[in-house]
Structure 1
Amino acid sequence: MTPKQKLYIARHLAKLGIDIIEAGFPASNKADLENVKLIAHEVGNTVVDSDGHIPVICGLARCNKNDIDKAWEALKYAKFPRIHIFIATSEIHMKYKLKMSKEEVIEKARTMVAYARSLGCIDVQFSPEDAGRSEREFLYEILAEAIQEGATTLCIPDTVGYNWPREFGQLIADIRANTPGVENVIISTHCHNDLGMATANTLEGAYSGARQVEVTINGIGERAGNASLEEVEKYSGMLVQPHKAIVGANAFAHESGIHELGYDFEGKELNDLFWRFKSVAEMKKVITNDDLMALVSN
């Protein structure tokens, strides 16, 4: 998307009442850094309703100083900036992707959360990537360290869409029950849709005590996507299936009843209009209100 399109969407998310907008990954490239900075300036300081709502503007960062510096460079202009730091915690990711031991991962997480706080960012979110496949006791330990260093939100991702709802709900419940200091922070869900379970997992996470849920416009995300907020196919280029709930074209369709338009017919007159309507429907896929009014006036 262009910077203009991203800003347009961010403004409407703010109007919708979204609490936190994760605007991008500033360290990924200069364009993304500038986009996040623009949203931080324009949306992160603008009251959009009578309640005085201004959303938190968030940026993503890996567990290294360069990423965190870039994130803060872009976010510091917002009234409520947040840095979202992540590092993998599953055995398979630590061994083959990070090539780091558990101790090294904990140390990296601990020091980078502290570093983000040292820059002046008082709102730091920490994510143990691939939490759904991480060893529980290790997860409790690294989350406790992040809390101790000043993390304010713990995001629990099902990074590869591996979990089923009951399983993911239990994960959230276990973290709440076993992580020292967890009562002082907010737990968030972050669910991918590889098994078609992202929304169900998100709901189970909320039922189990998560107070923040991470969702995306149109469900856009890696592979099968993320839990979906709503659809903006005009900019994304990803077509929405007609029968999709809430936003699909069929969700606004109904059996044609001319009295919805202020007309009232009965008996033979209604039957005649109905058969003329059926004739038009055989030739046109979509019948508009204008078509119905033309039928009545003919």
Structure 2
Amino acid sequence: FRRFKELADKKHEIFDEDLQALVSETQTEASESIKLVSLKVCTETGEENTATVVLSIDGKEQTATTKTSGAVDATFSAISALVDFEINLQLYSVSNVTQGTDALGEVNVRLEHDGRIINGQAADTDIITASAKAYIHGLNKIMAATDRAHPQI
């Protein structure tokens, strides 16, 4: 309900597609070992973009700041700096869930790690935030698969 209220505060109209995206996102949150705490992105024409990301990884907050040519690239680079495994971005796509400038944007990423392909998805009214959440969704899937392959007893 909290997520619904946040979305309602950002948008004038809520559509069925918005609710479906919220439900899909909420179902994956419970098992996440990496969570987005905050994201700050600064862009300026002709300058490098800066992203500062704070993640909670297994309950411990960690921060990274990176500068690159794009806002999404800076965001992904900052997130990658906080995880201790190699990730290759294979696919990045953005689509609108509903119509209008306040529409939810849905981001899909395809990540490669140790020969495995993992897909991550997320939606938000802010495309950069949706991008970060989709990347983190994929990372959580990688971590879950690694935990199953190498259980710590």
TM-score (norm 1): 0.21
Structure with bigger helix share is 1
When normalised by structure 2's length, the TM-score is 0.33
Max Rg structure = 1
More strand by share: 2
If asked which structure has higher relative contact order (CA below 8 Å, sep 6+), I would say 2
